[in-house]
Amino acid sequence: MRRIHILLGVQSLLAIFVSFNRLTDWFNGYVLPNEFLRWVDLNNVIVALVSMVAGYLLKKTLEYNSPAREGLAHTAWNLVFIIGIFISAVSYGFHELGNYLHFRFCLEDTTSDLCRIVIFNDDEFSHWLFFAGFIMVNAAILLIQNIFPHQGEVKGGDIALLLLNSLFLGLGVMANLGFETIGLDLYIVGLLAIIAAVLL
């Protein structure tokens, strides 16, 4: 449980950092003199990488030697996890560059061919990819945990730490989504919460 708490804590810290990254002006400067990207955009890519590494380590922590290991269900959910990571990475590639170009060059120009493409990649296509990858990665972890149920005792302190972690993660989600127009974001989080509740 200690490793699980640490890895979930990493995800919560990342959610809090993303809130500061997105909602403050601290990281609006350019990464290099050629102004190819802002720090806010590069930070999001780094956060995504760290989040996926933590997710992978969490998945590996949940898996243990049993007849289910390398069985059909385990292999299938591992493939879903890997594909989800790939789709998530592609979504960040589209989104961070698209977001930077959108806010730098296309806030006023929404009708030229170039800006319409940039805005679509920023606001639509990258989000669809992100939601697909997010669902796949998180659903795979939930269902792998279902294949490999926790064998040790879950103590009151463990439950308290899980609740505390979920509070910080929830605050990070609220800070990022609570003050803007919600699209599919809330429904995606709700869907995963329903999957978790059903499995529980």
Average pLDDT rounded to a whole number, residues 6-21 = 92
- pTM of structure: 0.87
Q: At 181, is the secondary structure helix, strand, or coil?
A: coil
Count of CB atoms situated within 10 Å of the CB of 91: 21
Q: Which of 62-71, 82-91, 181-190 has the lowest mean pLDDT?
A: 181-190
Question: pLDDT tens-digit profile of 19-73?
Answer: 888 888 999 999 999 998 999 999 999 999 999 999 999 999 999 888 888 899 9
Q: Which of 93-102, 103-112, 139-148, 176-185 has the lowest mean pLDDT?
A: 176-185
Structural domain including 49 reads 2-199
Report the alpha-carbon distance of residue 131 to residue 65 in Å, rounded.
32
Task: Give the dihedral sign, CA 165/59/193/177.
Answer: positive
Q: What is the mean pLDDT of the chain?
A: 91
**First vs last C-alpha separation in the chain:** 17
Q: Which of 11-15, 129-133, 187-191 has the lowest mean pLDDT?
A: 187-191
Q: Count up the domains in the chain and report the number.
A: 1
What is the residue-wise DSSP string for 16-83?
HHHHHHHHSSTT-SBSSTT---BHHHHHHHHHHHHHHHHHHHHHHHH--SSTTTTSHHHHHHHHHHHH
The reported pLDDT for the residue numbered 22 is: 84
What is the residue-wise DSSP string for 82-146?
HHHHHHHHHHHHHHHHHHHHHHHH-SS--SSHHHHHHHHIIIIIHHHHHHHHHHHHHHHHHHHHH
Residue 173 pLDDT class (50, 70, 90 cuts): confident
What are the structure tokens assigned to 41, written together? 């955009």
pLDDT surpasses 90 at 146: yes
Bridge partners for 30 per DSSP: 38
